[in-house]
Amino acid sequence: MSDINWNDYSLETQAIRAGHKRTHEDEHSMPIFTTSSYVFKSAEEASLRFTGQKPGNIYSRFTNPTVNAFQERLALMEKGERCLAFASGMAAIMAVGMGLLKTGDHIVCSRSVFGNTVIMFQNYFSKFGIETDFVDLIDAAAWEAAIKPNTRFLFLETPSNPLTEIADISLLADIAHAHDCLLIVDNCFCTPVLQRPFELGADIVIHSATKYIDGQGRCVGGAVIASDEIIEKFIYPYLRTGGATMSPFNAWVFLSGLETLAVRMKAHCDNAFELALWLEQQPSVAKVHYPGLPSHAQHELAKRQQSHFGGIVSFELVGGKEQAWKVIDATQMISITANLGDVKTTITHPATTTHGRLTPEARAIAGIKDGLVRISVGLESITDIKNDLLKGLSS
Ligand SMILES: *Cc1c(COP(=O)(O)O)cnc(C)c1O
């Protein structure tokens, strides 16, 4: 098994088999290595491992076999060179900033990224003299205009949350590279099953493994995938020192999550597509946001860039906030929670939860209307999902 070159295999196979190096116990399934440290055969071997002259485990803050297996598997699936796992998606984003940036640097970031990413750049990196400009995700000219001589990277998520707007990754990679910047893509919504940013020119891919990679809402974790050079020079030294490490148990859960990711993503997409079509026909629904619908402004781009359209659907109710809350409160099965990427369908009202801290003006710029509802479509029967929503939609 150890001499297989997993690069020759397809994603579905890598997801199930890559990364596990069978031990002398001949186990079939990946074990959890719950050990903080490792022993060396001699003082000399300890010294060689610490200086990196000899490969091998040292200490589980930065070397653990279960975590390594997860890293190898995800790197292969993303078609990236190397992956490092972190304690959470936010810890992964923090690591990219800590590794790559210094005082006086500048970031250009999509306005519609995960709320804590905005807070990280705006409230924390700014304390160390790093400035961020936020731009409209789909306005390529605005991205280019925001770049300055000290810009280090462009940062985005596509599709965006909750409006599912799609950025042209190839175009933005070209713009970034023309100005000597890196393009960083948070690929949490699509996962490598639906979209592979490296094939489109991105330099760094971020994951919150908490979402679809786990897929069943159990563990928090994250990852950074990049070239050997970027990882070795900028990210690994920070992980080793900063210590926001993924636990072996969580890595083990995420490894089994990856094994079913391809079939789950397909099923999420199929359910979401059917729900989006159905919602478009409901008289109380003013607009449905889903990249799979021909009515979606970047439908053609989504078809080119993604292999399927994703599991997130949002829609605007004619009756505004009052009706949005009514639809949410009328559900009996669907979970009212802001988490996403779970086999369980979840529903949330962005204007008063995930985007509730924004001013009304900022919410208007972001296009988050009071009547907007976001659904992370799970894997229950689509008939039951529709029936649960119909209670509030038809009242
Ligand atoms: C949840 C999320 C994050 C943060 O990940 P955590 O694992 O919760 O720290 C980052 N980006 C996106 C797109 C997310 O949905």
pTM beyond 0.85: the answer is yes
Q: Where is 99: in which H helix or E strand?
A: helix 89-100
Each residue's pLDDT tens digit, 254-305: 999 999 999 999 999 999 999 999 999 999 999 999 999 999 999 999 999 9
90 CA → ligand 1 middle, Å = 6
> Could you tell me the two tokens for 356?
């509730």
Residue written as tokens 């099965």?
Answer: 333
Pairwise CA distance, residues 376 & 272, whole Å: 8
DSSP 220-238: --EEEEE-HHHIIIIIHHH
Provide the residue ranges of all domains of the chain, joining segments of one domain with +.
6-259, 262-393
289 CA → ligand 1 middle, Å = 21
Pocket test residue of 112, 114, 161, 186 for ligand 1, highest count of atoms within 8 A of CB: 114
Answer positive or negative: Cα dihedral of 16, 21, 26, 31: negative
Each residue's pLDDT tens digit, 114-158: 989 999 999 999 999 999 999 999 999 999 999 999 999 999 999
207 CA → ligand 1 middle, Å = 7
8-state DSSP, 350: G
pLDDT tens series, the chain, 395 aa = 557 999 999 999 999 999 999 999 999 999 999 999 999 999 999 999 999 899 999 999 999 999 999 999 999 999 999 999 999 999 999 999 999 999 999 999 999 999 899 999 999 999 999 999 999 999 999 999 999 999 999 999 999 999 999 999 999 999 999 999 999 999 999 999 999 999 999 999 999 999 999 999 999 999 999 999 999 999 999 999 999 999 999 999 999 999 999 999 999 999 999 999 999 999 999 999 999 999 999 999 999 999 999 999 999 999 999 999 999 999 999 999 989 999 999 999 999 998 888 889 988 888 999 999 999 999 999 999 999 999 999 87
Answer whether 171's CB lies under 8 Å from 304's CB: no
Pairwise CA distance, residues 247 & 117, whole Å: 22
Ligand 1 atom having least distance to the Cα of 113: 13
Ligand 1 atom having least distance to the Cα of 92: 9
Could you please state the CATH topology (level 3) that the domain comprising 6-259 is classified under.
Answer: Aspartate Aminotransferase; domain 2 (3.40.640)
Each residue's pLDDT tens digit, 4-21: 999 999 999 999 999 999
109 CA → ligand 1 middle, Å = 15
Atom 11 of ligand 1, residue of closest alpha carbon: 114
Pairwise CA distance, residues 135 & 316, whole Å: 24
Domain 262-393, CATH: 3.90.1150.10
